[in-house]
Structure 1
Amino acid sequence: MRFTGQVFRAHNPRWSFTPLSGEGAALHGGRFNPVGTPALYTSLRMETAWLEAQQGFPFKPQPLTICAYDVDSEPVLDLTAPSSLDDLGISPAALVCPWEDLADQGKTPPSWKLAKTLMANGTNGIIVPSFAPGATENDRNLVFWNWSDNPLSRVTVIDDERRLPTTAASWP
């Protein structure tokens, strides 16, 4: 499918000068990207971006920079409907797997295998449920493996007033 619309992302303000980078995800890995693979994790609602950034940590919420993005990208697969998963032969367990625990044990999480297969097939991104603590069925994410400011994979940050810093020099 083609996804056209807005998505949101909550950043540590320290990295707000690079809102389109997937390097943090590449460095640490994520549910849908192995270490070394850049990914841009976004949410379909601003509230979901907040949940994702806080991840239910037991400490006080820390400052965040929330950015909105204009998106026009295809192909994007919607993996939130059981029928979509069935059509693709994907188990819901692959999405919800304890990816961090598996990776820490030296095992390849099923969600990484899924991501590698979809990337190899030319999929630019996937819509998935949010697994953040407190998430409801309305909380969904759009994870990109391929994005740019070019057609077919266009993801651009909305910053018409140039409020975001442009370099790391903004920070001590």
Structure 2
Amino acid sequence: MTINISRFTGIAYRAHHPMWSYDPLSGNGAKQHGGRFNPPGCGALYLSLDPTTAWMEAQQGFPFKPQPMTLVAYEIDCTKIADLNDTQLLANLGCSPQELSCAWEYLATLNKMPSTWQLAEKLRALEVAGIVVRSFAPGCTSTNQNLVLWNWSNAEPHVVRVIDDFGRLPKSPESWSG
């Protein structure tokens, strides 16, 4: 199967729980718990293409009482990115735009594989490094976009670099011990 993929270059954002801001490139939370586009055991780095979307993504569980977050910016230069806003691409992959918004957490609790996990498996099998896709966080619209990466590093062809020119992010979990 051939699909259209492209290179993504630009700035992306992520709002972190402050305690985990010492390791903003790990993807371990998504690997441990799973996410909309990755089952548990599969690492993923969920980023947003603007700070507001990053904040809304991070606050999904707290819509009326925003919790403290650390906003981190990333420089991205990744090849093999699929744009899931392309309905023809989705159709070629046997998926619909409606399936992207599935209740993935609920399906996972029923031991059913969400369609978004199946889609991610197909894309990873095609060696796609990540996707651009709309945010499904409460209050978001199709203009709120995310970048989800399954393959990233500090080297080409999937470069992701934290922007921390002044070394403000903590360097270890000991930063949080009292």
Aligned counterparts, 1:21-60, within 5 A: 21-55=26-60, 57-60=62-65
Q: Which amino acid aligns with 1:51?
A: M
Q: Residue 56 of structure 1 contacts residue 132 of structure 1 at CA under 8 Å; is this kept in 2?
A: no
Q: Determine whether 1:105 maps to 2:107.
A: no
Structure 1 residue matching 2:75: 3-state secondary structure: strand
- Give the corresponding residue for 1:65: 70
Write the distance in 2 (CA, Å) between the matches of 1:119 and 1:127. 14
1:10 to 15, 26, 34: 15
In the alignment, the residues of structure 1 paired with residue 63 and residue 135 of structure 2 have an alpha-carbon distance, to the nearest angstrom, of: 19
Q: How does 1:142-153 map to 2 (within 5 A)?
A: 142-153=147-158
* Secondary structure, aligned partner of 2:68: coil
Query: In 2, are the aligned partners of 1:17 and 1:165 still within 8 Å (CA)?
Result: yes
Letter paired with 2:131: I
C-alpha RMSD of the superposition: 1.2
Counterpart-to-counterpart distance in 1, 2:159 and 2:14: 16
Q: How many residues align?
A: 172
Contact 2:93 2:119 in 1 (8 A): no
- For structure 2, the residue ranges without an aligned partner over 5 or more in a row are 1-5
> Quick one: percent identity of the two aligned structures?
55
Please state if 1:156 is matched with 2:154: no
- Please give the alpha-carbon distance, in whole angstroms, between the structure 2 residues aligned to 1:129 and 1:51: 12
Give me the whole-angstrom Cα distance separating, in 1, the residues matched to 2:10 and 2:25: 16
Q: Which amino acid aligns with 2:155?
A: N
1:104, 1:120 → 2: CA distance?
Answer: 25
**Structure 1 unmatched runs, 5+:** none
The alignment's TM-score, normalised by the length of structure 1, stands at 0.96
Deviation of 1:117 (Å): 1.2
